[in-house]
Chain A
Amino acid sequence: MDLTQSTASSLLELLGTGQLTSVELTRHYLDRIATHDARIGAFLRVDADSSLAQARAIDAKRQAGQPVGLLGGLPVAVKDVIAQRGELLTCGSRMLENFRSPYDAGIIERLTAADAVLLGRTNMDEFAMGGSNENSAYFPCRNPWNTACIPGGSSGGAAAAIAADFAPLSIGTDTGGSIRQPAGLCGVTGLKPTYGRVSRYGLVAFASSLDQIGPLAHTARDAALLLQVIAGHDPRDSTSVNAAVPPYSQTVTQPLAGLRLGIVPEHFAAGLDGEVAAAVKSAINVYETLGASVREVELPHAQYAVATYYIIAPCEASSNLARYDGVHYGRRAEMGPLTAELAAERKELLAAGRAADAAKVDNNLVRMYRQSRAEGFGTEVKRRIMIGAYALSAGYYDAYYVKALKVRRLIRQDYDRAFEHVDLIVGPVSPTTAFPIGQKANDPLAMYLDDLYTVSANLAGIGGIAIPCGMSAAGLPIGLQLTAPPFQEDRLLRAAHMFQTATDWHTRRPKM
């Protein structure tokens, strides 16, 4: 049986009827990873033995006639930022290269309870900071459509794993667009749920008030299945919302009658690539042929979203990453050379008659912190820690952080107002298709501007979905983004499914 080109839903059917076992399916993906992932770099680690053991257990359960969970033996790839007991949890960083989590994240418990097979840990930008996956401390992930190009970030590995058919489902995280942007650039479906919809317990925090876990898959239907499993209240996360989880996998196929779509004129202004603009416009036309009405809406503060995001996210990151100091776990600088170095520094200053300066030389502890963090973190992470520490420091707090919080509220209010008139807002995911590796690596500002269309949803806390809606002349996928009012994931998924019943962009696969 040729399993490539399959969707999670079709595989689940085969598993359910006994035409396929979870072991066969898991082995199929493990083989594909073994054959192709050296060129892609979607996975940081795959544990074949453990995955096959899980698959065997699920098969046995099914054969014994016991009830099987919603995912019934489907493999799921998990971004390496989510805690899994006993597994390495590197977050794409050298800082945590030897760190094993002592506990399971809330969503890992849910995946296990739903009988998912945990296939492996996907590559990512270090601590989820980046839009290209070039910031992985281990190796960059590449776009399966063109390995000279980036897959997007920070969930680049999670998106590439779907695009390359290494897994039918994967878990990503989205702080400023980190699920939607790589989904768009890799031609897969990725959903960022409303803040609070999915428990963050066990998600290593980048920016706590923005981070949200979400599904990546080939289709909206598959994403609905995975979201249904991972969504829901968790008392261990006080920001997780105690609201019933709709049966997304059942409702996803119901079309939305009288759908009102909003478009934001600024989304189509300068900076948007012509091919992307054309594909997005034709996607909107598809919706119109499906009976949707389209009108313009205003998001007047959207122009400040990137600036606001790049204050709030680094502020929270500088605080969240303080715990990586080499004391309790993770990377610690070697103390022998460090102590000798300090002694030499002091001696030299004293010899030069600079006693006051000698007294200011770090003590061992402080130098250990400095050195451990200098060695453990990559450039982008350091940049954001510095920005955040600066913006939160005495004298700047009001000018930066407090101001950014105010703008954030205005951005949320813009959405509230817009959604009084429309059901969904539709537009591009990113201004361009995937760019070549290295092109923006030394231009962080250019990289930050790629988040233009995605960060607002994180600031507002609302949900958004990215779905494939076209291909560039160069053969790279183009994504369409839909955003919805809070807790309207059901609406997002149904609208995405409507589009996928009328188009076949989501069925295209890169040649491997």
Chain B
Amino acid sequence: MSVPYTTIIGLEVHVQLSTATKLFCGCGTRFGGAPNTQTCPVCIGMPGVLPVMNGRAFELALRTALALNCEIAPYTKWDRKQYFYPDLPKGYQISQYDLPFSFDGWLAISDPKERFPAKKVGIIRAHLEEDAGKSMHDEATGRADSRIDLNRCGTPLLEIVSQPDLRSALEAKAYLTELKLLLEYLEVSDCNMQEGSLRVDANVNLHIDAPGERLAKTPIVEIKNMNSFRAVERAIAYEADRQYDLWRERQIELGQPGGHKTTRGWDDTAGVTRPQREKEESADYRYFPDPDLTPVTVTREQIAAVRDQLPEPPPALRARFEAQFGLTPYDCEVLVSSGKPMVAYFLELAGLIGDGKTAVNWVTQDLARTLNERQVPLAEFPIRPPALAELIQRVQAGEFNTSKAREVFEAMLAQDLSVADAIAKLGITRVDESELVALCEKLLADNPRIVADVKAGKLQAAGGFVGQAKKLNPNVNPARVRELCLELIAKMGS
């Protein structure tokens, strides 16, 4: 059922960049350390300390911005965003305000099931900033203790702000999925959402068809800090319903009295958004350029150098695989979405066997399923492309069929065997042609009824030979048995 409104969505994604050290000091960025063990006077804002920019963080940010088709500012500065909070030890966050290092980009999204038209989602800006610490409120002790862990303080974040170009929770999810995939291909972030490496804020409002061919716009709501795509989808769907109900009740529009932007938090357990603070009461951040940090200038040569190093992004890979290997769009989608290591595996395998179609079937089916069952990363998977290629080539040479090959694959895996050893262990031997001819001649002699049926044109009756052949010799190639029997019957004449 269609709804009488359009949902307008813009996303702000905070990505933790994969640097070994923090944005402005040499502390490590590892997740899960004991509280306050990854800190130094600089990242916890001791009196007298100064920040020094981590060049690697800037490089990773630049890489991402270029892959998002952004313009790069030749001159960029750092600003202080000032507010008081216990997990913000300096009383300000170093961020970028009016001159972000990159702006005006886009990311293309589409749906393989075509539930929405393919589109380019605008990127307003991407800027670098430092993360704050973490407050832990322990009210169980009855003393309402609050503890602060500053390990995360100063961790480099890239904030990617989209245009409000998304029109449904489905599109929002597609955008996030495609963005996450891109970040993984770029190797700029581990994108681990449980560990907070990728966090999402969504700005949502509705455009409602109002009487007089007018569009009524509901006040914008910013839903803060969601850390799963499912939460984003649910929160947007919830918020759209809530805003529509509220509109029917009160008809307050964006910009009217009471129609200012508000901030809400997503309660995943309850499945609702809840009000946070009102924007009117929110702090005046008093941004100004950080005088402790020198501005960064980026030359065209530096940009070109980073651009040269960019890996092929997912859309280009999908297109290339379709053209180069004749894969279906669906196969391309599955393959590329399964990540960069899988793609590398596929390319090696396809190169060895000279057949992309067969390679993609093995990779997206057998390999993916096995990895999933065993919960191991591809890098640790024992069957490397040369071994798998050898197995597939034996199938191609007619030594045995694909279902036999799967048994070999399982044996290789279970007992850590080479292809040859697994074949020997399973007792698979190649049946030579003269042996096979003799076997088929015996089958024809033993089964006059089937022969008659085939002669009468019921070719499917030949299946009966295959079952019997397998009983006589499990190593026969069923397809070859069928083929040979048909040939022999044809030679018999009528």
Instruction: Give the interface of A toward B (CB within 8 A).
Output: 82-83, 89, 91, 96, 99, 101-103, 105, 200-205, 207-209, 235-239, 315-316, 318-319, 321-323, 325, 327-329, 365-366, 369, 389, 392-394, 397, 401
A89-B48 contact, Cβ under 8 Å, with A102-B41, A319-B92: yes
Q: Give residues of chain B (52-93) contacting chain A, Cβ–Cβ below 8 Å.
A: 52-53, 80, 82, 84, 86, 89-92
A397-B288 contact, Cβ under 8 Å, with A322-B92, A323-B90, A325-B84: yes
Residue of B nearest to A389 (CB): B286
Residues of chain B within 8 A (CB-CB) of A96 are 47
Residue of B nearest to A127 (CB): B47
Please, how many residues of chain B have a CB less than 8 angstroms from a CB on the other chain?
29
Contact A401 B53 (CB under 8 A): no
Residues of chain A within 8 A (CB-CB) of B86 are 327, 365
Residue of A nearest to B80 (CB): A319
Q: Which 7 A-B pairs have the closest CB atoms?
A: A322-B91, A209-B291, A208-B291, A392-B286, A204-B47, A83-B48, A202-B48
Q: Is B294 an interface residue (CB 8 A)?
A: yes
Bound: A393/B41 CA distance, A: 29
Q: A101-B48, A205-B47, A238-B51 are in contact. List 14 more A-B contacts (CB 8 A).
A: A102-B41, A103-B41, A201-B48, A201-B50, A205-B48, A207-B291, A208-B292, A238-B50, A319-B286, A322-B91, A328-B148, A392-B82, A392-B286, A392-B288
- Partner of A205 from the list B44, B284, B292, B293 (CB cut-off 8 Å) is B292
Contact B46 A101 (CB under 8 A): yes
Residues of chain A within 8 A (CB-CB) of B50 are 200-201, 236-239
**Which of B82, B86, B291 has its CB near the most chain A CB atoms (within 10 A)?**
B291
A236-B292 contact, Cβ under 8 Å, with A322-B90, A328-B89: no
Nearest chain B CB to A419 CB, angstrom units? 23
Residues of chain B within 8 A (CB-CB) of A101 are 46-48
Against A, the Cβ 8 Å flags (1 = close, 0 = not) of B153-196 are 00000000000000000000000000000000000000000000
Q: Give residues of chain B (247-299) contacting chain A, Cβ–Cβ below 8 Å.
A: 284, 286-288, 291-294
Contact B44 A328 (CB under 8 A): yes
Q: Which secondary structure dominates where chain B touches chain A?
A: loop
Residues of chain A within 8 A (CB-CB) of B42 are 236
Contact A319 B82 (CB under 8 A): yes
Nearest chain B CB to A480 CB, angstrom units? 30
Nearest chain A CB to B200 CB, angstrom units? 27
A323-B91 contact, Cβ under 8 Å, with A236-B50, A238-B52: yes
Nearest chain B CB to A128 CB, angstrom units? 12
Q: Is B49 an interface residue (CB 8 A)?
A: yes
Residues of chain B within 8 A (CB-CB) of A202 are 48-49
Q: Is B45 an interface residue (CB 8 A)?
A: yes
- Partner of B46 from the list A103, A239, A316, A394 (CB cut-off 8 Å) is A103
Nearest chain B CB to A400 CB, angstrom units? 11
Bound: A209/B48 CA distance, A: 13
Residues of chain B within 8 A (CB-CB) of A99 are 47
Residues of chain A within 8 A (CB-CB) of B89 are 323, 327-328
Nearest chain A CB to B459 CB, angstrom units? 81
Contact A204 B82 (CB under 8 A): no
Bound: A204/B45 CA distance, A: 11
Bound: A208/B84 CA distance, A: 20
- Partner of A203 from the list B48, B51, B82, B288 (CB cut-off 8 Å) is B48
Contact A239 B292 (CB under 8 A): yes
Contact B91 A238 (CB under 8 A): no
Contact B48 A319 (CB under 8 A): no
**Which of B41, B47, B84, B90 has its CB near the most chain A CB atoms (within 10 A)?**
B47
Nearest chain A CB to B132 CB, angstrom units? 13
Bound: A394/B287 CA distance, A: 9
Nearest chain A CB to B170 CB, angstrom units? 37
Residues of chain A within 8 A (CB-CB) of B82 are 319, 322, 392
